[in-house]
């Protein structure tokens, strides 16, 4: 279960935001009591004390391992195609498993995402993935975790090799401290915008930009930077008429809090859908909440199609934001793509300029650092 830190309401694990106040939900800890020690819980290899029944030998673990077929979920300790030793699982989702792997020849570290059979057997998804993998090296950028190689094992497991990026997920950072300071937000937005811009120039649209897909990393001098993750991993370009499929029991594609209006409507997407998602992400970084409310997650999605976002200063009256920041976010969150900023760099520069609109000297250094002025 997940819990709203503001109102305390609990929701199913798949929910990410409270529909009452827009707060990001946090995991609710559930501690299971220890199992009772009784006859039923004793090992089959050890008979009860005083029993005349001889102990039964257990089957050697090695034989069990040899008989266990390899799947995307159980690759720890295995060597993929004689090259990548799978060290540990670092993440998983409905369509893939992610491992930390070492190149056995060079000891270089990589992140390897092994796709589920359902995804690897989807001809359209794989055609798109192959096209984007071909562009992967051109997408190499300090602010992007890009595809380095697309491979397939002899038994048909499809995998993607990417740089291994260490840091803290933006979602975890926001959950941990409540909201990101304006100056840090400007820096991270610039980083994300630069990475996205390189992808957009290659006609690659991320389509799934959210805090869980952004890593906050640290350089040797302790300065921080943002890296956009999960580029080009065969995500669907369209929501397939999502609004028509909303039901009382859930949403077809999960909980797409950061989808643009055109993505919710199932329309063709371009770079401007990422700009909308980036603006939603910025709003959450600054406030810890999303700008659209509703009694249910479905109502929150419908509000994104029909309503204007709640102003920053009304959502968080305890925080001070320059009025220009409101104007920039309002433009980036326009329902019509034509009314938004047309490139991520344009949005990032407008946001950085707006952040120093009130003349605060602490923030005025940002522009000089970011834009060389």
- CB 148 within 8 Å of CB 135: no
Angle CA 329–330–332, to nearest 5: 60
Report the candidate in 10, 343, 24, 316 with the shortest Cα–Cα distance to residue 170.
24
Q: Which residues contact 73 (CB under 8 A, 6 or more apart)?
A: 92, 97
Q: Which residues contact 67 (CB under 8 A, 6 or more apart)?
A: none
Please identify which residue in the block is written with the tokens 């096209």: 131
Active site residue 208: yes
The DSSP code for 148 is: -
Question: Rounded distance, CA 340 to CA 347, Å?
Answer: 9
Question: Rounded distance, CA 186 to CA 360, Å?
Answer: 14
Helices then strands (H, E): number in the chain? 12, 12
Q: Within a 10 A sphere around the Cβ of 68, how many other Cβ atoms?
A: 9
Q: Which residues contact 178 (CB under 8 A, 6 or more apart)?
A: 288
- The pair of structure tokens assigned to 189 is 């937005």
The catalytically annotated residue of 40, 122, 172, 208 is: 208
Instruction: Tell me what percent of the chain is helix, strand and coil, each rounded to the nearest 5.
Output: 35, 15, 45
Among left, alpha and beta (phi > 0; psi -120 to 50; other), residue 207 is left
- The pair of structure tokens assigned to 308 is 């204007």
Q: Which residues contact 363 (CB under 8 A, 6 or more apart)?
A: 182, 183, 186, 355, 356
Q: Within a 10 A sphere around the Cβ of 16, how many other Cβ atoms?
A: 20
Please identify which residue in the block is written with the tokens 């609710």: 28
Q: What backbone phi and psi angles, to 5 degrees, belong to 153?
A: -75, 170
Active-site residue list: 208
């Amino acid at each position: 279960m997940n819990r709203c830190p503001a109102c305390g309401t609990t929701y199913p694990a798949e929910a990410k935001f409270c529909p009452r106040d827009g707060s990001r939900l946090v995991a609710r800890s559930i501690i299971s009591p220890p199992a009772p020690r009784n006859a039923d819980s004793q090992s089959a290899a050890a008979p009860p004390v005083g029993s005349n029944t001889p102990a039964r030998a257990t089957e050697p673990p090695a034989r069990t391992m040899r008989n266990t077929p390899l799947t995307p979920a159980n690759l720890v300790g295995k060597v993929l195609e004689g090259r990548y030793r799978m060290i540990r699982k670092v993440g998983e989702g409905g369509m893939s498993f992610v491992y930390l792997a070492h190149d056995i020849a060079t000891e270089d570290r990589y992140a390897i995402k092994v796709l589920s059979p359902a995804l690897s057997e989807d001809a359209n998804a794989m055609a798109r993935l192959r096209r984007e993998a071909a562009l992967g090296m051109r997408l190499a950028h300090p602010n992007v975790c890009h595809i380095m190689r697309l491979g397939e094992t002899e038994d048909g497991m499809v995998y993607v090799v990417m740089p291994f990026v260490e840091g803290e997920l933006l979602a975890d950072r926001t959950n941990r401290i409540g909201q990101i300071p304006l100056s840090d937000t400007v820096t991270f937005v610039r980083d994300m915008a630069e990475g996205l811009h390189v992808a957009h120039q290659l006609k690659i649209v991320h389509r799934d930009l959210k805090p869980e897909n952004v890593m906050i990393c640290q350089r040797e001098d302790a300065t921080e930077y943002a890296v956009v993750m999960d580029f080009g991993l065969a995500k669907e370009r369209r929501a397939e008429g999502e609004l028509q499929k909303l039901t009382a029991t859930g949403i077809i594609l999960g909980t797409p809090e950061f989808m643009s209006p055109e993505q919710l409507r199932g329309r063709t997407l371009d770079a401007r859908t990422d700009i909308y998602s980036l603006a939603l992400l910025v709003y959450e970084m600054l406030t810890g909440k999303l700008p659209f409310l509703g009694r249910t997650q479905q109502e929150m999605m419908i509000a994104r199609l029909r309503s204007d976002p709640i102003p920053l200063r009304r959502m968080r009256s305890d925080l001070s934001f320059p009025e220009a920041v409101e104007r920039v976010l309002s433009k980036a969150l326009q329902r019509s793509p034509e009314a938004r900023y047309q490139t991520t760099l344009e949005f990032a520069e407008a946001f950085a300029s707006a952040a120093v609109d009130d003349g605060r000297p602490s923030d005025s250094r940002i522009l000089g650092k970011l834009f060389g002025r």
